[in-house]
Amino acid sequence: MTYLYLIMAIVFEVIGTAALQASEQFTRPKPLILTALGYMAAFYFLSLVLRTMPVGIAYAIWSGLGVVLITLVGLIWFGQRLDAAAIAGLALIIAGVAVINLFSRTAVH
């Protein structure tokens, strides 16, 4: 269940962040409400993850995968572009999350 909760936390964080972009600096109420609800749900599910996973590991996975996913949302929905340095950085984030999950004994398996 820990990883299911972590996935839910990541998904809701990405929803909240995408809605934050769509709120146009808090001028559009519907995306603003979705931002608040997304972040509340994200932190709720993250709190469930912290019952069984160390905070550093949980946060590394949550933030790392969240960055990668919101970058994809930015590319697809908001038409944002990445340069080579940004792509390399995202690849390093993905590699870091993979190393934690595959080789760390502190991650929940």
The per-residue pLDDT for range 40-87, each reduced to its tens digit, is 999 999 999 999 999 988 988 999 999 999 999 999 999 999 999 999
The identity of residue 32, as a single letter, is L
Q: Which residues touch 31 (CB under 8 Å, ≥6 apart)?
A: 19, 20, 22, 23, 24
Q: What is the mean pLDDT of the chain?
A: 92
The CA distances from residue 2 to 65, 89, 102, 108, in Å, are: 15, 27, 16, 8
Band of pLDDT at residue 106, cut at 50, 70 and 90: confident
- Domain holding 92, by residue range, is 2-103
Average pLDDT over residues 25-33: 94
Asked, for residue 95, whether it belongs to a domain, the answer is: yes
Count of the separate structural domains present in the chain: 1
Q: Residue 109: inside a domain, yes or no?
A: no
For residue 93, is it within any domain?
yes
Distance from C-alpha of 48 to C-alpha of 45, rounded to nearest angstrom: 5
Q: Is residue 104 predicted with pLDDT exceeding 90?
A: no
Is 108 inside any structural domain?
no
